[in-house]
Amino acid sequence: MSIATQQAASPPATGTVQKRSGFLSRIVAHRTDYLYVLPALIVMLVVIAYPIYYTIELSFFRTPPNLQMRDKVWTGIDNYVRVLSSPVFHEVTIQTIIWTLASTVISFLLGLGAALSLHREFVGRGLMRALLLIPYVISAVAASYVWKWLYHSDFGVIGAISVQLGITAEPINFLDNRQTVLASLIVVNIWKEFSFAMVMLMAGLQTVPDQLLRAAQVDGANTWNRFWHVTFPHLKGVSMVTVLLLMVANFNSFIIPFVMTGGGPADASHIWITHIYQLAFGRQQWGVASAYAVILFIVMMFLGYFYVKALTRGDEARA
């Protein structure tokens, strides 16, 4: 190594030592504060860190149905190989992506539309707001059962109406058909969560300065231009947060597909979480289910990383 290189490398090393020293001294200075949060940290370690560690550990073992968990058999990366080479994995992954993207995008757009509509003053606005919030506050299990009956392939209300109106000759088979089941469940999911997006965006709309909108109007901007050049930029932050939260919620959705179809028929409505649940609790393949869960965890971390990068890009540029 040349002297020049050594000289160039030295300052950061010194800086790191100083930084570390400063970091430690800050911890010492605030030791009482850390003591206060210690119980919470311990609880988090127990309920978050340990399950993650145990899931990762379990993903390297096989758990035959005649053996207790403590007698599990080491298989190395066999579970990961099985998962990644399984046709079901690919099928369920595609379904999960469709479920997540469709639910997130459509819920967001509907929520945005509803928020913009309710931002205006009109008679009955409070009532409309309350009505649109109903799907969000209804229990997901109860909503799933109601929709299951609405969709029922033999006696469902929707099917009966479509027959009565002459739209179809027979009741539409929503849930017992591999081609229609996922789309049917996505509709229920959107119905259930678009009002969450609406509430978030309504809060965001409160931050749009009224003066700017009026100034734009005075300058001759039409409704679309006012929305696109004034309102929407102000909603960027809350929109990103809303989309992130919707995506995480949809990736981890369980209740609607599980209650309404259990992942069927013939796996057509399984998404990752329901498939993991079936592997673990239905088939007791705890090791394979854990491998799935670890892969899902990694995917989520990647998504989160890139999302945060995108979210903070503007801040970094400004800095």
Partner 1 sequence: MTKLQGRGMRSAAPTRRRLIGRAVATVTVASLLSSTVYAQSVDLSQWSPEYVRSIAGTEEVDTAEHCASVVPLDYEGRLTYWWTGPNEASPQIERDINEQFWAAWEETYPNIETDAQNIDYNQLLDKLRTALLGNAGPMVLRLQILGGVEFASKGYFQELKPEDVGYPTADFWPGAMKSVTWEGTTYGIPTNNETMAFIWNADIFERAGLDPETPPATWEDVVAYSKQIHDELGIAGYGLVARQNAGNTPFRFMPQLWAFGGGALDESTDSPTYETVMLNNEGAKAALQASYDMYVRDKSVPASALTNTQNENQAPFIAGQLAMMIAHPAEYAKMVDLAGQATGADKEVADTVVANMRYGLIPEGPERRAVVFGGSNMHFIEDEYVDGGFDEMAAKAFACFWNSPEWSTKLAWTGSNPGNLRGFKTEWMKERLDTIKFLDVTTSMLPNGVPFPVVPEATEIMNIIVPDMLQNALTERMTVEEAADDAAAKVESLMGGGL
Q: Is residue 100 a contact residue for partner 1 (CB under 8 A)? A: no
263 contributes a contact to partner 1 by CB under 8 A = yes
Choosing from 26, 154, 203, 209, the residue that interacts with partner 1 (CB under 8 A) is 154
Q: Which stretch binds partner 1 (CB under 8 A): 45-53, 171-179, 194-202, 240-248?
A: 171-179
171 part of the interface to partner 1, by CB under 8 A: yes
Report whether the peptide linkage leading into residue 265 is cis, meaning its omega lies within 30 degrees of zero: yes
Structure tokens, 61: 């073992």
CB of 138 to partner 1, least distance (A): 20
- Check: CB of residue 126 under 8 Å from CB of residue 132: no
Binding segment toward partner 1, per CB under 8 A, in 37-45, 130-138, 213-221, 260-268: 260-268
Asked whether 108 and 246 are in contact (CB, 8 A), the reply is yes
C-alpha 74/C-alpha 53 separation (Å) is: 16
Helices (H) and strands (E) in the chain, counts: 15, 2
Strands 61-62 and 73-74: what pairing?
antiparallel
Examine residue 242 and tell whether it contacts partner 1 (CB under 8 A).
no
CA dihedral 252, 258, 262, 264 (to 10 degrees): -50
Q: How far is the CB of 67 from partner 1 (least distance, A)?
A: 6
Q: Which of 238, 232, 242, 185 is nearest to 212 (CA)?
A: 232
Is the Cβ–Cβ distance between 115 and 207 less than 8 Å? no
Residues 54-83: x where in contact with partner 1 by CB under 8 A, - otherwise, as a string: --------x-xxxxxx------------x-
**Quick check: 248 binds partner 1 (CB under 8 A)?**
no
Shortest Cβ distance from residue 102 to partner 1 (Å)? 21
* Site membership for partner 1, residue 204 (CB under 8 A): no
Considering the complex, state which of residue 177 and residue 252 has its C-beta at the smaller distance from partner 1. 177
Q: How many residues bind partner 1 (CB under 8 A)?
A: 35
The closest alpha carbon to 92, from 316, 315, 292, belongs to: 292
**Closer CB to partner 1, 115 or 143, in the complex:** 143
Partners of residue 61 on adjacent β-strands: 74
Dihedral sign, Cα of residue 166, residue 144, residue 246, residue 250: negative
Q: Residue 283, interface with partner 1 (CB under 8 A)?
A: yes
Q: Which residues bind partner 1 (CB under 8 A)?
A: 62, 64-69, 82, 148, 152-155, 171, 173, 175-178, 260-268, 278, 281-285, 288
